Amino acid sequence: MTAYGTLLGRYTYDWLQRDRVQPFYYTANERLPQYATEAVLRRCAAELPVLDLLFGWDAQDITPDDRGATVTLEQRDGDVVPVGDGLVGAVSSASSHRFEARAGHHLAPAVMASGRDVYEALGPGFTLLALGADADAVHAIDAAAADLHVPLTVVEDPGDGETARYGAHLVLVRPDHFVAWASAAPALGLDEAHRLLHRVTGRTAPARAGV
C-alpha cells in the first residue's frame, strides 16, 4: 500500500489491486497473519522429537551435497556450529532472518513475560514497545503522540525474555506491523519524541530552538 503525506491519512493506494479480484471469489479471502502462522508452526515443531528448535541463531552458510546440505549457524555470542549434515531435501534458496527490531523491517514475533504474543498486544495505530525502558521516555513519547493526535498504544514488558532478542529498549511499531523506529537507549526526551513522531508520520519536523 502507498500512503500520501502520512501513514494515518485517508489518501492511500493499494498497488496490488486486491479489491478488483475479490468479486470473482466464491468466499472472502482469509489471510493468516505471519505471527499466527509462526505460533502454529512452533507448537507443531515442539511435538516432533527429532527436531531441535533454535532461536537467536543466524544461518551463515548452506553447503549442499549429494546427501542434502550442511547449515552453519552462528549464535549471537559468536559460537559457530555446523548442523544438519546429511539433511534430506534440496536447498532452493538461502536468506537472512534476524530477530532484532530494525526500522523498515517486519516485527518478529515474540512471547512476552505475560505469556501473550507481542502481536496480540499491538494496537490499531502505532504501538510503543517499552522493554525495560525508562518511565520518563515512555511518558515523553506518549505525551508527544497525544499532542500530535497520533493514536498510540503503549505495551510494557521487562525485556528480559524473548523480547530481549529485539536488541532495543524502545520499539515503535507502525500500524502495518513494520518497525518505524527502535532504540537501544532506555531514555528519550520530550523534544526528541516530538521530532521522532513527526518523522515517522511523514510530517514536517518543527525547527529546533535557536535555529
Q: Do 178 and 116 belong to one domain? A: yes
What is the identity of the amino acid at 201? T
Query: Strand 152-157 to strand 126-131: parallel, antiparallel, or no bridges (unpaired)?
Result: parallel
Question: Is residue 119 scored above 80 in pLDDT?
Answer: yes
| 13 in a structural domain | no
pLDDT interval class at 152 (50, 70, 90) = very high
Q: Do 185 and 118 belong to one domain? A: yes
Single out the residue in 98, 131, 159 at which a domain terminates: 98
Q: Do 92 and 127 belong to one domain? A: no
Question: Quick one: cell of 131?
Answer: 522493554
Burial state string for 149-170 with b = 16 or more CB within 10 A and e = fewer than 16: ebebbbbbbebeebbbbbbbbb
pLDDT interval class at 89 (50, 70, 90) = very low
Count of CB atoms situated within 10 Å of the CB of 74: 14
Q: Give me the mean pLDDT over the 35-42 stretch.
A: 76
| 163 in a structural domain | yes
pLDDT interval class at 91 (50, 70, 90) = very low
Q: Which residues contact 58 (CB under 8 A, 6 or more apart)?
A: 73, 74, 96, 97, 98
Burial state string for 126-137 with b = 16 or more CB within 10 A and e = fewer than 16: bbbbbbebeeeb
Q: Give me the mean pLDDT over the 69-91 stretch.
A: 55
Angle at CA of residue 183, ends 177 and 187, nearest 5° = 125
CA distance to 65, 114, 152, 187, per residue, from 96 (Å): 21, 29, 31, 30
Give the pLDDT confidence score for residue 183 in this predicted structure: 92
Q: Do 118 and 182 belong to one domain? A: yes
Question: Is residue 21 scored above 60 in pLDDT?
Answer: no
Q: Do 66 and 90 belong to one domain? A: yes
| 21 in a structural domain | no
CA distance to 24, 45, 52, 82, 156, per residue, from 49 (Å): 44, 9, 8, 20, 35
| 172 in a structural domain | yes
Give the pLDDT confidence score for residue 93 in this predicted structure: 41
Q: Do 122 and 192 belong to one domain? A: yes
Single pTM value for the model:
0.58
Single out the residue in 82, 98, 114 at which a domain terminates: 98
| 1 in a structural domain | no
Nearest to 75, CA basis, from 49, 104, 99: 99
pLDDT interval class at 19 (50, 70, 90) = low
Q: Do 113 and 193 belong to one domain? A: yes
DSSP class of residue 105 equals S
| 84 in a structural domain | yes
Q: Which residues contact 99 (CB under 8 A, 6 or more apart)?
A: 55, 56, 108, 110, 165, 166, 167
Give the pLDDT confidence score for residue 121 in this predicted structure: 93
Q: Which residues contact 171 (CB under 8 A, 6 or more apart)?
A: 101, 107, 128, 129, 131, 179, 181, 182
pLDDT interval class at 128 (50, 70, 90) = very high
Q: Do 78 and 113 belong to one domain? A: no
| 211 in a structural domain | no
Question: Is residue 158 scored above 70 in pLDDT?
Answer: yes
Which of 67-71, 142-146, 151-155, 205-209 is least confident? 205-209
Give the pLDDT confidence score for residue 167 in this predicted structure: 92
Give the pLDDT confidence score for residue 122 in this predicted structure: 93
Q: Give me the mean pLDDT over the 64-78 stretch.
A: 72
Q: Do 116 and 168 belong to one domain? A: yes
Domain that holds residue 80: 56-98
| 46 in a structural domain | no
Q: Do 127 and 62 belong to one domain? A: no
Q: Do 115 and 195 belong to one domain? A: yes
Cα separation, 191 vs 208, in Å, equals: 9
Q: How many domains does the chain have?
A: 2
Mean pLDDT taken over the chain: 77
Single out the residue in 44, 71, 98 at which a domain terminates: 98
Q: Do 80 and 125 belong to one domain? A: no
% the chain with pLDDT above 90: 32
Q: What CATH number has the domain bearing residue 187? A: 3.40.30.120
